[in-house]
Amino acid sequence: MKDSTLNTIAGDEQGIKAKSDLQSVNAFPSLISSIVDAVKDGWLDPSDAFISFRNAEKILKSAMTSINEDVIDQIDTGQPVEIGDQRLEVRNGAGRWTFTDDDHNDLKVKLKAMEDDRKKAYKMHLNGQVMVNSMTGEIIPPAEFTPGKRTIFLSKKKS
């Protein structure tokens, strides 16, 4: 976008400072890379870096959210807008379907019951047992379980 569309004028202190701050943000990838390298080389504690990165992530997400509508208002021209080597365009996110009829709800309840039975069958399978449907006499096949990826949970200390 052209500087003429902004609310600052040349020489305006606040505008100059904002442009300087933006240049600092653009240097962010280099800063992050050097921190990662220092962790890998054993100069920085990985947990300290992780906590700092997580805090920065929260700040960046909040900042992105706070200016999101401003960006949409600025670039919603129906055509992509190119700024430097980046391309911005406004797109609609995925819509949502709502099913409120009784038939659909009944099927969801049945599916949930079947899934719960297969989870129980899995736990029984681990103990060398099989689960049998008491109404039909059929063996209920166990569900397949894939453990989740190990992650880091970060929370504030309790005082």
- Whether 23 is in a domain gets the answer yes
Q: Say if residue 78 is in the same domain as residue 106.
A: no
- Whether 132 is in a domain gets the answer yes
**What percentage of the chain exceeds 70 in pLDDT?**
93
Could you give the angle at the alpha carbon of 124 between the alpha carbons of 121 and 129, nearest 5°? 110
Could you give the angle at the alpha carbon of 28 between the alpha carbons of 55 and 9, nearest 5°? 105
**How much is the pLDDT for 4?**
46
| Average pLDDT score over residue span 109-122 | 96
Q: How far apart are CA 36 and CA 43, in angstroms?
A: 10
Residue 106 structure tokens: 């009944």
Q: Say if residue 48 is in the same domain as residue 84.
A: yes
Question: What sign for the dihedral angle of Cα 129, 135, 141, 145?
Answer: negative
Q: Say if residue 108 is in the same domain as residue 84.
A: no
Q: Provide the 3-class DSSP secondary structure of residue 60.
A: helix
Could you give the angle at the alpha carbon of 123 between the alpha carbons of 120 and 127, nearest 5°? 135
As for how many domains the chain has, the answer is 2
pLDDT tens for 8-40 read: 455 578 878 888 888 888 889 999 999 999 999
Q: Which domain holds residue 117?
A: 102-140
Q: How far apart are CA 49 and CA 51, in angstroms?
A: 5
Residues making up the chain, counted from first to last? 159
**What percentage of the chain exceeds 90 in pLDDT?**
68
pLDDT band at 137; cut points 50, 70, 90: very high
Q: Say if residue 41 is in the same domain as residue 64.
A: yes
Give the least confident one: 18-32, 36-50, 113-127: 18-32
Half-sphere exposure of 132 (CA within 13 A, CB side): 6
Q: How far apart are CA 12 and CA 148, in angstroms?
A: 52
- Whether 153 is in a domain gets the answer no
Amino acid at 21: D
pLDDT tens for 49-88 read: 999 999 999 999 999 999 999 999 999 988 888 888 889 9
Q: Say if residue 74 is in the same domain as residue 126.
A: no
pLDDT band at 6; cut points 50, 70, 90: low
Average pLDDT of the chain, as a whole number: 89
